[in-house]
Structure 1
Amino acid sequence: MPKVPRRPPQLRGRVFRGSTAVSRGLLTRNDLRSSAWRPLFRDVYADAEVTVTHPIRCAAVGRWLVPPGAAIAGRAAAGLFGCARPIASEPVDVLVPAATRTGPTTGIRVHHAEIDSGDTVERAGITVTSPARTCWDLARWLDVIEAVVVIDAMLASRLTTAPALREYALSRAGRRGWRSLLRAVDLADAGAESPQESRARVRLVLAGLPRPETQWVVADQGRFVARLDLAWPQFKVAVEYDGLWHDDPEQFHRDRQRLNRLLGGDWIVLHLTAKRLRDDFDGFLAEVRAALRARSRSPR
């Protein structure tokens, strides 16, 4: 019969350094190669029965694998703030002081840069970049749409504000990425309620359309009718993202009923699906342009 892997109780359900477990006599190097343990990084293992998430990987990196003065950064930091959802296998971004040299480590994406006082905070016992620094790094490392997706969530969570981010960027004028942060902040909106709504809004604005209002409430004689994802109220044109991102079919059904009432009035409501956002955004953009153009020419 195959040998049953050793699973000392001290290590069950835990993430640990392999070298420490070996030095304490809990495991041998051969034991670490068994199916009982899952390697996460060099010399870092998890009980195979643990569901390894990105925050768990961040915690391991922050505890054992970063040099002094470094911090979890980028999307990894945003995930720890609850403003991004990196998949478990996504590399962990780490910001390291410019003068510190580090070698490559599989699963970790290292960025060297100057780190100012106040640019790091503690989050769940891990050193991470502050909300403002996280937004700056995202504006430098990602394309503007994906940076705005996370900045929207940061603003919605009240971790920072648009004026504070503008001040942060201007105080670093001349340093790489300060203009990128200003641009991202100008496109950001705390009213976005999902990443796909953010992507749709920013793509519409970058295509030259007027900036829409987010979560616009339509009322009839003081009574609530509907709340619209994106709206140009002066034209009574709206965009609804039909992604079922809230995973609530009943809420989706109620929303559609309200929107049908709007369609019986004088609003134009255009529905954007995930497929069209991905595969036919140009076609959808043409429809929005046509609706806005028609409304701008007709009396209301």
Structure 2
Amino acid sequence: MPGFSCHPGGLIPRSDPERAAWETAVWLDPLRAVAIIDSLLGQGLTDRGALAAMADHNADRPGGRRARWLFDLADGGAQSPPESHLRVRLILGGLPRPVVQHPIRLPTGVVLHPDLAWPEYRVAVEYDGQWHSDADQLHRDRRRLNLLVGAGWLVLHVTSRRLHGEFPAVLREVRAALASRGWRR
């Protein structure tokens, strides 16, 4: 039977990715919802067209505008829920939408992809989760930082502690970095 799966207790409804995205957008807090929708997009389980169709189909239902808003905030390039949370919080804080995993080709031919970037201002933000404290990862991160700075980029790093406990300061720092490179509200 389509839309149902077998369960020892009988048939239970099964959701498709678009329905799951809809329910997530309508019922969860925006940060969690966007992180889940980012993941659905990133895994190729749905796409922007299918989400737009779901939003159109349900536009008049309660939560319709909210779901469309969250679908528009989603980006399948995010590589982790904290990166999604950081991106959404920066946007909700009044900053322009960053590009996720923007490719930066260096003169050597190496291509780097910072977590968040504003290419027109040459500002990037990297989210440093717990795995970044590993000595080998720290070495790779600092090498990347040096390459990006050498190519004229201003790079800020945000840790989990700062994302959750010092976000107003993070927002001020990113805003100041963008302003120093010509962004005007």
TM-score w.r.t. length of structure 2: 0.88
Partner amino acid, structure 1, of 2:174: V
1:217 alignment partner, one of 98, 103, 108: 103
CA contact (8 A) 1:244 1:252 kept: no
In the TM superposition, 1:66-145 aligns within 5 A as: 68=11, 70-71=12-13, 128-145=14-31
1:194 aligns with 2:80: yes
Q: Secondary structure of 1:241's match? A: strand
Alignment of 1:149 onto 2:94: no
Shift of the alpha carbon at 1:157? 0.6
The CA distance in 1 between the partners of 2:142 and 2:111, in whole Å, is 11
Secondary structure of the corresponding residue to residue 20 of structure 2: helix
Equivalent-residue separation in structure 2 for 1:280 and 1:212 (angstroms): 20
Q: Structure 1 residues 222, 265: CA separation in 2 closer, same or farther (over 3 Å shift)? A: closer
2:106–2:151 Cα contact (<8 Å) kept: no
Aligned residues with identical type, % of pairs: 47
Give the structure 2 partner of residue 158 of structure 1. Answer: 44
What SS does structure 1 have at the residue aligned with 2:8?
helix
Unaligned runs of 5+ in 1: 1-58, 72-127
* 1:259 corresponds to which of 145, 149, 155: 145
CA deviation digits over 1:42-69, x for unaligned, max 9? xxxxxxxxxxxxxxxxx9xx533xx75x
TM-superposition CA deviations, 1:111-168 (whole Å, max 9, x none): xxxxxxxxxxxxxxxxx31101101111111011110000000000111111111111
Shift of 1:254: 1.3
Structure 2 counterpart of 1:196, which letter?
P
**How far 1:286 moved relative to its partner?**
0.1
Question: CA separation of 1:209/1:191 partners in 2, compared to 1, >3 Å: closer, same or farther?
Answer: same
Higher helix share: 2
Letter in 1 for 2:122: K
The alpha carbon displacement at 1:231 in A equals 0.3
Distance 1:144 1:189 in 2: 14
TM-score of the two chains, using structure 1 as the length reference: 0.55
Instruction: Give the count of matched residue pairs.
Output: 178
Contact 2:117 2:123 in 1 (8 A): yes
- Aligned with 1:184 (options 70, 78, 87): 70
Pairwise CA distance, 1:247: 8.8
Q: CA RMSD in A?
A: 2.1
2:176 aligned with 1:290: yes
Instruction: Say yes or no: does 1:237 pair with 2:182.
Output: no
Q: Alignment partner of 1:296: what SS?
A: coil
Q: How many angstroms apart in 2 are the aligned matches of 1:197 and 1:245?
A: 14
Q: Which runs of 5 or more structure 2 residues have no equivalent in the other structure? A: none
- Residue among 50, 53, 58 paired with 1:172: 58
Alpha-carbon offset, residue 194 of structure 1: 0.5
Select 1:275's aligned residue among 158, 161, 172: 161
Query: If each structure's strand is expressed as a fraction of its own residues, which one has the higher value?
Result: 1
User: Separation in 2 of the partners of 1:204 and 1:212?
Assistant: 9
